[in-house]
């Protein structure tokens, strides 16, 4: 029986994408000290907005990744409203990112690219 999963998205810049690629497209890199929270988002539209409007100006490129996470793992976290019903995300504490990565089923795919 297949595990139930939830589809999530994450906007990333080129450096984070490089680290994901180095991990075989199976894990997100550890957070930096000034990044206490990992924020996967619940819609592709929200991820596109961040990749296009924030990542491109900051680093010259933005990418939208899509991936599946075990529903039973995500159930311990509440979906957070980050400024409206179209801007919803999970807040995963940095120290729990390794467990989050372990709950990813399959690979992390790049579905959109902006330059």
Helix, coil or strand: residue 112: strand
User: Residue 91 to residues 59, 66, 109: CA-CA distances in angstroms?
Assistant: 23, 17, 21
- Averaged pLDDT for residues 42-47: 96
Q: Identify the pLDDT of residue 86.
A: 83
Q: What is the pTM of this model?
A: 0.94
Cβ–Cβ under 8 Å, residues 67 and 8: yes
Count up the domains in the chain and report the number.
1
Structure tokens at 56: 């491109």
**Domain range for residue 21?**
5-114
CATH of the domain at 101: 3.20.170
The pLDDT tens digits for 47-101 are 999 999 999 999 999 999 999 999 999 999 999 998 878 899 999 999 999 999 9
């Amino acid at each position: 029986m297949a595990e139930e999963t939830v589809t999530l998205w994450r906007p990333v810049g080129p450096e984070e994408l490089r680290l994901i690629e180095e991990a075989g497209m199976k894990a997100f890199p550890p957070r930096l000290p000034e990044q206490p929270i990992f924020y996967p988002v619940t819609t592709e539209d929200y991820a596109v907005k961040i990749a296009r409007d924030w990542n491109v100006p900051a680093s010259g490129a933005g990418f939208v990744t899509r991936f599946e996470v075990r529903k039973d793992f995500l159930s311990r976290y509440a979906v957070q409203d980050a400024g409206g019903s179209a801007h919803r995300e999970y807040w995963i504490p940095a120290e729990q990112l390794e467990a989050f990565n372990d709950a990813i089923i399959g690979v992390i795919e790049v579905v959109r690219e902006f330059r």
